[in-house]
Amino acid sequence: MPRSSRHLAPYVRLFAAPGTRAFTAGNLLARLPMGMFTVSAVIMIAGTRGSYALAGAVTATGLAATGLVGPLTARLVDRHGQARTAVPATALAVCGSLSLVACVRYGAPDWTLFASYAATATTPNTGGMARARWAYLHRADPALRHTANSFEQAADELCFMTGPVLAAFLCTAFFREAGTLAGAVLLLVGMLLFTGQRRTEPPVARAAAARAVPPLGLGGLFPLLLTFLCTGAVFGSLEVVTVAFADERGQQAAAGAVLACQAAGSAAAGLAWGALRPSDGPLLRRFARCVGAMAVLSLLPRPPRAPGVCTCSPARCSSRGWGRRRRWSPA
């Protein structure tokens, strides 16, 4: 068997189960806006209010609200099922996005932007629901579950590759609210398609969910929370400062492409990891190696910047004074 075919074999087996392609297509459609909303909100708010500090604060508030509301939404999904919970939760989140657009469009007070964006925190964890379906379908095959998790990691990065590009294009080529509106439509349509695939939905286990240990009571969770809090700070700041830097260079439409390049490496790594066998050894050791590798790669020196090219580190960007209000020049 050729080497390329041997590497693709796990993915062929993964999608051999009936219904897997259909729910994956709907899930990817619903997941794509996850890479669009932040960039769209930053361009939309900064373009109308003239402040990247306000835009960053609004999006940060939304992320913090998601951190609080997300686990509650996930618990409801476990207790009542994906279709029964995810659709109304998505509808509420879409209403929050529409409210944000209306508040920005008609010059509502700044506090309404925070409230509207916080309402989008009810967005269900589309990636988590897809992983739950894979775990249910391949509950007797650990190797396929490993492949499925690797595929989902690559799917996450694919959405964060294409989402910012699409958002920046819509906001600069049409009107500033276009990215948020398109994301809301994609989220709702994709969720309806995903939840409509009932034969692959995991069964509801209310008794098991009621007896489940609270997440904060799980051993080893706090190191993960701390690690991903720091990781989220890195990725969250990258989105805001990349848009700000591209705008200062007069290339705001290129911000999406820059963010897409940042996600390309993770997507490739996820697909490669899924085609390989996990290395042996304690999980803690592997986790430490991955965190260390991420830290080292983040500190690598950047190549010299050519004229007109957007390259910037978060620390340097955040120290350039983009938090102040500045006059907006439409692209």
Residue 321 class from Cβ within 10 Å (0-12 exposed, 13-18 middle, 19+ buried)? exposed
Contacts for 54 with CB less than 8 Å, ≥ 6 apart: 45, 46, 110, 113
| Structure-block tokens of residue 201 | 């939905």
Decide if 34 contacts 179 (C-beta within 8 A).
no
Please work out, in degrees rounded to the nearest 5, the angle formed at the alpha carbon of residue 61 by the alpha carbons of 55 and 64.
140
**Which of 31, 39, 73 has the alpha carbon at shortest distance from 59?**
39
In order of 44, 147, 328, the CA distances from 325 in angstroms are 14, 47, 9
Handedness of CA 98, 104, 108, 112 (dihedral sign): positive
Q: How confident is the model at residue 236 (pLDDT cuts 50, 70, 90)?
A: low
The fraction of the chain above a pLDDT of 70, given in percent, is 75
Q: What is the pLDDT of residues 63-111, one digit of tens each?
A: 889 888 888 888 888 888 888 899 999 999 999 999 999 999 998 999 9
pTM for the model stands at 0.70
Q: How confident is the model at residue 295 (pLDDT cuts 50, 70, 90)?
A: confident
Which residue matches tokens 């989402």? 163
Decide if 65 contacts 227 (C-beta within 8 A).
no
- pLDDT at position 327, please? 38
Q: What is the pLDDT of residues 117-172, one digit of tens each?
A: 999 999 998 888 999 898 888 888 887 888 888 788 878 878 877 888 888 889 88
